[in-house]
Amino acid sequence: MSKLPQPIPRQALRDLLPDVPETVFSEEFTRACEVLDAFVGDCLRFLVHELSLGGFAGTAEDFARLRRHSPHGLALSRWLFDCLRLYGLAEEQDGIVHVPAIVPRVDLEAAFAAAVAASPQAEPAMAVQKLATQALPDVLAGKTTGEEALFSLSQLDLWFSYFSNRNIHYAPTNALAALALARAVGPQARLLELGGGGGSAAEAALIALWDAGKPPALYVFTEVHPAFLRRGSRLVRQLLPEGCQLEARPYDIELAPEEQGLPGVLFDAVFAVNVLHLASDVVLALQRLRTLLAPGGALVLGELMRPSFQAPVHLELPFLLLKSYQQAKNQDGIRSRPGFLCQQGWQNALRAAGFGDAMVLPATLDRCLALYPGFYCAALVAR
């Protein structure tokens, strides 16, 4: 397992990305990644002290049992132990994880301030990591839930900032998915976006379609959360090209399309960024979306890609705190851990749902991950 944090080999990585504009993975982006990666290490050291892990020897299962964690605590403990190993803050021998007795104590607020000073554009991503880190002990103890800790009304502005193209860490996935969409459809396409959030993916998509000379004829923007639906649809309305029809409505990927009153048309593309991994049954969700596509239509997904079936994602903690994320069921050959899928898992799920093999952008994703284990951004196009 490659260790984090590490300097990112910028030129070697750039050489692997001929199919992606240089602006997507800029030098500024890789520098921000290095700052964020180092800050996650500070978060882990903070948690070693907050959870009294110094000197612990055992498995994640032992830790969850001994501390009598909440029912969702085991997945969180596994993430924590995997990331301690990823950062060289613990070692594993014969299946037993050993945490050093002495780990430097971290002032998390001071570490956050220093990291933001080093990379101001990374502030939303680091603020979300800090919030999740501070919430983890209480979530493990059953004193609160991840939903309560992360998504109170007072935190909504933070999430609007996070799910934004102004967030240097979130924008690349939107950009890749938008680029893939613009390459997959023709002019006057009928588009359905799932889980549009605050509208950042739609913003990237509409700009990419305009730049490609392919303005759509219909854009159906969907979102489950009412506040995000209102905000996202306002942004989309401002960006729509002349003559394009907009429909904004709730849509739940856990329900059949016919139960939700979608327009009576088949779509040229169904588009979603960081949504489909939340489906409790990924194959069933994909099968339902297939029924919404016109012949030859494209399913375009922007997704954070797990490096392999069992690999940890060091930025995953905020999502792993949420019950909805953890409740997505594991499926052999598709998903072995809650939440995010790896590239092979997506290919297997899409084939099982009746799609052909997906085109991946960047095409060299596996080689990018070998160079830098935090390279999670990708888009998939399946027909």
| Cα–Cα distance measured from residue 152 to residue 148, given in angstroms and rounded to the nearest whole number | 6
Helix (H) or strand (E) holding 295: strand 293-304
Task: Specify the pTM.
Answer: 0.94
**3-state SS of the chain: helix, strand, coil percent to 5?**
45, 15, 40
| Cα–Cα distance measured from residue 174 to residue 164, given in angstroms and rounded to the nearest whole number | 9
Helices and strands per DSSP (H, E), number in the chain: 16, 10
| Tens digits of residue pLDDT in 197-215 | 999 999 999 999 999 999 9
| Cα–Cα distance measured from residue 30 to residue 24, given in angstroms and rounded to the nearest whole number | 10
CA angle 105, 110, 116 (to 5 degrees): 130
Could you tell me what percent of the chain has a pLDDT over 90?
87
CA angle 116, 120, 124 (to 5 degrees): 80
Contact call for residues 305 and 340 (beta carbons, < 8 A):
yes
Asked whether the predicted pLDDT for residue 288 surpasses 60, the reply is: yes
Per-residue pLDDT, 278: 93
| Cα–Cα distance measured from residue 318 to residue 217, given in angstroms and rounded to the nearest whole number | 37
Q: What's the average model confidence in pLDDT over 268-276?
A: 97
Compute, in degrees rounded to 10, the torsion defined by CA atoms 269, 270, 274, 277: -130
User: Closest by alpha carbon to 69, among 319, 317, 280, 321?
Assistant: 321
| Tens digits of residue pLDDT in 293-329 | 999 999 999 999 999 999 999 999 999 999 888 888 8
| Cα–Cα distance measured from residue 372 to residue 284, given in angstroms and rounded to the nearest whole number | 33
Q: What's the average model confidence in pLDDT over 241-251?
A: 95
Contact call for residues 90 and 81 (beta carbons, < 8 A):
yes
Per-residue pLDDT, 243: 94
57-58 sheet: strands from edge to edge? 57-58, 96-98, 91-93
| Cα–Cα distance measured from residue 166 to residue 282, given in angstroms and rounded to the nearest whole number | 30
Q: What's the average model confidence in pLDDT over 73-100?
A: 95
Query: How many CB atoms within 10 Å of residue 27?
Result: 12
* Domains with residue ranges and CATH for the chain: 10-162 (no CATH), 171-382 (3.40.50.150)
Could you tell me what percent of the chain has a pLDDT over 70?
99
DSSP-derived 3-state class of residue 18: coil
Asked whether the predicted pLDDT for residue 156 surpasses 90, the reply is: no
DSSP 277: G
88: left (phi over 0), alpha (psi -120 to 50) or beta: left
> What's the pLDDT band for 1 if we cut at 50, 70, 90?
low
> What's the pLDDT band for 154 if we cut at 50, 70, 90?
confident
DSSP-derived 3-state class of residue 334: coil
